[in-house]
Structure 1
Amino acid sequence: MKLSNQLKKGLLIGLSIAATIIVFLSQLLYVNPYTSSWDQVDFSLAVTRFDLMAMQPHFPGYPLFILGGKFIHLFVNDPSEALTIFNILFYSSSVFPIYKLSRNFLTSSYSWLSAAIIYSSSFCIIMINQPMSEGAALAAFWWYLWSLLFALKRTNSTFILIPLAMLSLMLGIRLSYLPFSIGILFLFYLKVKNKTISRVDLIYYCLFGIAFQACWLVALIVSEGSLIGFIKLSLAFTTGHFNDWGGAIETSKISFFERLTKFSWGNIVWTGIAGKSIITVVIFIFFLAVILFRSHKKQEQKPKHPFMNLLYLMFSCYFVWGLLGQNIEKARHVLPLIILLVFFICINLFSKSVSYLILGLAVILLGHQVWKDVILLKAEGTESPAIYKMDEYISKMNQPVILYTWEETRVLQYINASYTHKRLETFDFFKSDSNYFRGRTILLTDKVVKGFLTQGHSLDGKIIKVASFHSNELFDPVYHDITLYKWVGNEAVH
């Protein structure tokens, strides 16, 4: 029996490590060569020329992410691919903190299994394989969590400097993870409560924290030229981002209940945890039911580990921030909530006696995620996004054209589209500007058409559908479906 248990543990560890390696190698094999969204263009342009005023990238600059991309760019010619490879390499390092965090609650074999399940989470993997800051931010987030626990367990207060530095690294990559700084405040609270540090020490560590953040913040101010200029730029961006196109709750057309449902079920569970896979969501729901049943069956409640309380607090803070302050049309904003939930499930599931049924389902889940990862990564790295397909279609039209878009122009500029294209926001501007292009075929994307309709303009008899282009919604939630229309004005539609 002892040999059998050792063999089982060895097989579980070997399977988990093999699954992680397969996913990692697949990420490198199918590096995403496409730059298919406004934000991706912003980041890619910043690798060769960092300029906040020119939105290379957009505010707040993500300086440490761009710095990582610049380093990889020394070896990889394409700036977009350089950012993606930086994401892949940095996120692969997160296996260590995931394992170490799990090891505080689980055996070695189940810690490896948990790390493999979390690492191979399908939606996270395909987001990491894009030239966006989320991949590197997730990696920094895991190291930040590990540093918090590391400092929490040490009586030597000097170790508090590690999570302070990791917080600076994380925010320098993605400032929207600011709600997670509650972890530092919680750490300070516990250290003062346990009399590990004095109130005077607390002031010193706060100053160190400010100094760490200043390392990247001052660099941004210098790049902008002055503090006043930097503040003006930040106010201009945040006003537009949250009021004009950001999708925060103040500008949303849907009710709060609809927003909550889309955010919780649509983004976190169905898209995020399940990757829109019925098999994955069924297994996770079963695991959650087992955990709830165990919790209800327990006779006496054991005190929670203070670190788990910290994770629950951090999850709650970011949940509120993501729900009220982020664009829920982009599920990538919930990535840290996804990995935290999967971590919670793994810890609660494997910390008790694990039946062969649960272990078998966990192995099936891991295998299914790896299989799905390879398929999705191959598709992401080889199949053209909808906007690329539209560009190819228009380029082959044997007639002069003018294309009016909403945000697609940013991508078309980046890929050097051969025809004239313009971004617009109002019908009045379109009517005025299109007069300069008489004799050309006037094309509109569906985003423009929807914008005109929202502004109260009837387009009956004025447009005809030309073509539609599709790609995977998981890769690009906003522009996975693009419909092209031809403007015929007051002419009869045949």
Structure 2
Amino acid sequence: MTVQSGHPQRRGRSLFFIVCLLMLGFIGIRLAFVSPYVASYDIANFTLAVGQYDLANLQPHFPGYPFFILLATGLARLGLDPVRALGMLSTLGLASGVIPLYLVFKRYSFDTVRLLGAFTVVSTASLVTLAATGMSDGLALGVLCWFMWSVEQARYNRFRLLPYLLFGLLMATRLSYAPFGIILLFLLWQVRRDPWQWVSEIAVLLLAQLAWLLPVAFSVGGPASFAQLSLSFVSGHFSVWGGTAQTDDASLLERLGLTLKQIFWHGFGLATWLGLASVLFLCAQRIRPLPLWWSVTGTGYFLWVWFAQNIDKPRHTLPLILLLVILLVRRLSVRWLVPFLCLQLIIGSMALYRQAHTEPATLQLAEAVTDLPASATVFTDEEDRQFLMKRPAATIVPIGSVSKWRAEPKSREVYLTGRLLDRLQAANVSIEATEVFRFTSDPRFEPEDAEARLYKTSFN
């Protein structure tokens, strides 16, 4: 009887380790297909920061992302190209999320079904694809998973201080995830009648933030200089070209529609009908809502994205995708879980390969700019650092406002990018220009940069 009862346990343990090996194989594929391209302005800033951290020179931009840059710099010193070091770190960060998610999901030891559920969350095609770039999103999502696990532990008075420490780490990785701090208010409410515990948790919360804020502040000359830099960045973020609800010409209802599109079309579907249809497998069973504290926190982040983020960039909705996939998979059986996982793995793997082997449109344009004569001046929006990395002979001038455009001297050969032209025309600046170059790339990866154009104009 003892031998017979041990067989199912051994089989379950063997299946568990087989799934672990398959997971490691897929993670290895993701690392092999990390994007080698400086595909956006933000990636250019991060790449430069790996070589020389200079917050005042936007290497990277505020608030500095010290945890992300510190780890990436360590990988780069091992001989990796900076942009690949960033992408590999982000990919590994997202993959690490499978551990805390499994610990949250599991009901017993070697729970293969819950392991598949945790792996499904970190295998959602949009999360995997956007993590395989030089952005901090993948690492931030991984830290967010660990933070969620720590909160669940703290609710039952285990590791009570850990959520506050991990929240500091999360802010040092990606400050835009700040609304997830709402859930810490629920933890503080639990200990409101114990003043010493309440004070100790508040103290750890503050110290965890100071642990990354102070080194970054002193890197730019001290707290006063850092405060001035932060005010300058915030005023720029909410300026005419900031892309938030405060400055967007679209109505709040239109922004809501775009937010939902980014969540479901670019998030769940990765801009494919097959990916979107795969969600049907998750909706086949009755869904149990998330606990109140996570529902309130998720709603807070949704409002943050809707009102205060540049919603043209799908990566700002990634934490919402993470929460929604957790909501959908945490109670599913294998027969519904496996089809969704397989479809997401197929879509994600194909997208990773394409992203790693297709040069973004902006970089194609940057190479074309290198053929312009030295007498030319090219005015850009956010493409200037990508252009400068190609070492063009022409003069590259970034424009961040209408007033700067009007103040800049114009040479005989004047070029401007399509993004800049669109923004100037939207600001009622009259410009007659002739298109010189046009390049396109896959809109699933950088939708706002999927088309790159260069125009020529003249000034008398």
The question of a shared fold, defined as TM-score above 0.5 by the shorter chain, is answered with yes
Gaps of 5+ in 2: none
2:264 to 263, 269, 273: 269
How big is the shift at 1:464? 2.2
How big is the shift at 1:443? 2.5
Which stretch has the larger CA shift, 229-238 or 95-104?
95-104
The whole-number CA distance in structure 2 between the counterparts of 1:333 and 1:482 is 22
Per-residue CA deviations over 1:237-274 (Å, capped at 9, x if unaligned) read 1011122332111111111111111102x111111122
Is the 8 Å Cα contact of residues 248 and 325 (structure 1) preserved in structure 2?
Answer: yes
The whole-number CA distance in structure 1 between the counterparts of 2:251 and 2:102 is 40
The whole-number CA distance in structure 2 between the counterparts of 1:105 and 1:316 is 31
Is the 8 Å Cα contact of residues 136 and 173 (structure 1) preserved in structure 2?
Answer: yes
What letter matches 1:393 in structure 2?
A
**Matching residue of 1:371:** 346
Map 1:371-410; keep pairs closer than 5 Å. 371-396=346-371, 401-410=376-385
Map 1:253-268; keep pairs closer than 5 Å. 253-264=249-260, 266-268=261-263
What letter matches 2:226 in structure 1?
F
How big is the shift at 1:167? 0.9
Which stretch has the larger CA shift, 480-489 or 384-393?
480-489
**Matching residue of 1:475:** 445
2:391 pairs with 1:443: no
Map 1:66-145; keep pairs closer than 5 Å. 66-103=69-106, 108-145=111-148
| Residues 1:369 and 1:5: Cα distance change in structure 2 (over 3 Å) | farther
| Residues 1:398 and 1:44: Cα distance change in structure 2 (over 3 Å) | closer
Is the 8 Å Cα contact of residues 406 and 425 (structure 1) preserved in structure 2?
Answer: yes
| Residues 1:16 and 1:281: Cα distance change in structure 2 (over 3 Å) | farther
**Matching residue of 1:153:** 156
How big is the shift at 1:476? 1.2
The whole-number CA distance in structure 1 between the counterparts of 2:373 and 2:172 is 47
**Matching residue of 1:315:** 298
Is the 8 Å Cα contact of residues 69 and 79 (structure 1) preserved in structure 2?
Answer: yes
2:221 to 220, 225, 231: 225
What letter matches 1:198 in structure 2?
D
How big is the shift at 1:361? 4.6
| Residues 1:144 and 1:124: Cα distance change in structure 2 (over 3 Å) | same
Map 1:23-62; keep pairs closer than 5 Å. 23-62=26-65
What letter matches 1:49 in structure 2?
Q
Per-residue CA deviations over 1:427-450 (Å, capped at 9, x if unaligned) read 786577564x32x4x322211221
How big is the shift at 1:78? 2.2
What letter matches 1:340 in structure 2?
L
Is the 8 Å Cα contact of residues 12 and 113 (structure 1) preserved in structure 2?
Answer: no
2:457 pairs with 1:487: yes
Is the 8 Å Cα contact of residues 72 and 82 (structure 1) preserved in structure 2?
Answer: yes
What letter matches 2:115 in structure 1?
W
How big is the shift at 1:3? 11
The whole-number CA distance in structure 1 between the counterparts of 2:36 and 2:281 is 37
Map 1:272-287; keep pairs closer than 5 Å. 272-285=267-280, 287=282
**Matching residue of 1:341:** 324
2:194 pairs with 1:198: yes
How big is the shift at 1:108? 1.7
* Secondary structure at the counterpart of residue 244 of structure 1: coil
Gaps of 5+ in 1: 296-303
The whole-number CA distance in structure 1 between the counterparts of 2:447 and 2:102 is 31
**Matching residue of 2:434:** 464
* Secondary structure at the counterpart of residue 55 of structure 2: coil
The whole-number CA distance in structure 2 between the counterparts of 1:249 and 1:427 is 20
How big is the shift at 1:145? 0.6
| Residues 1:467 and 1:7: Cα distance change in structure 2 (over 3 Å) | farther
Is the 8 Å Cα contact of residues 84 and 129 (structure 1) preserved in structure 2?
Answer: yes
The whole-number CA distance in structure 2 between the counterparts of 1:336 and 1:105 is 27
Is the 8 Å Cα contact of residues 384 and 397 (structure 2) preserved in structure 1?
Answer: yes
How big is the shift at 1:18? 5.3
How big is the shift at 1:421? 2.2
| Equivalent residues, number | 456
Is the 8 Å Cα contact of residues 27 and 129 (structure 1) preserved in structure 2?
Answer: yes
How big is the shift at 1:140? 0.7
Per-residue CA deviations over 1:358-387 (Å, capped at 9, x if unaligned) read x44532221121122221111111211111
The percent identity for this pair of structures is 28
Is the 8 Å Cα contact of residues 20 and 120 (structure 1) preserved in structure 2?
Answer: no
What letter matches 2:171 in structure 1?
L
Give the TM-score taking structure 1 as reference length. Answer: 0.84
| Residues 1:455 and 1:324: Cα distance change in structure 2 (over 3 Å) | closer
* Coordinate RMSD, CA, aligned: 2.8
Give the TM-score taking structure 2 as reference length. Answer: 0.90
2:230 pairs with 1:234: yes
The whole-number CA distance in structure 2 between the counterparts of 1:271 and 1:13 is 32
Per-residue CA deviations over 1:106-145 (Å, capped at 9, x if unaligned) read 9923212211211111111111111111111111100111
Is the 8 Å Cα contact of residues 441 and 450 (structure 2) preserved in structure 1?
Answer: yes
The whole-number CA distance in structure 2 between the counterparts of 1:369 and 1:268 is 15
| Residues 1:109 and 1:240: Cα distance change in structure 2 (over 3 Å) | same
**Matching residue of 1:167:** 167
* Secondary structure at the counterpart of residue 283 of structure 2: helix
| Residues 1:5 and 1:344: Cα distance change in structure 2 (over 3 Å) | farther
Is the 8 Å Cα contact of residues 67 and 169 (structure 2) preserved in structure 1?
Answer: yes
What letter matches 2:364 in structure 1?
K
**Matching residue of 2:398:** 423
The whole-number CA distance in structure 2 between the counterparts of 1:104 and 1:145 is 17
**Matching residue of 1:188:** 188
How big is the shift at 1:318? 0.8
The whole-number CA distance in structure 2 between the counterparts of 1:275 and 1:169 is 28
* Secondary structure at the counterpart of residue 57 of structure 2: coil
Is the 8 Å Cα contact of residues 378 and 396 (structure 2) preserved in structure 1?
Answer: yes
Structure (1 or 2) with the larger CA radius of gyration = 1
The whole-number CA distance in structure 2 between the counterparts of 1:217 and 1:458 is 44
The whole-number CA distance in structure 2 between the counterparts of 1:334 and 1:426 is 27
Is the 8 Å Cα contact of residues 34 and 84 (structure 2) preserved in structure 1?
Answer: yes
What letter matches 1:268 in structure 2?
I
| Residues 1:15 and 1:267: Cα distance change in structure 2 (over 3 Å) | farther
| Residues 1:153 and 1:230: Cα distance change in structure 2 (over 3 Å) | same
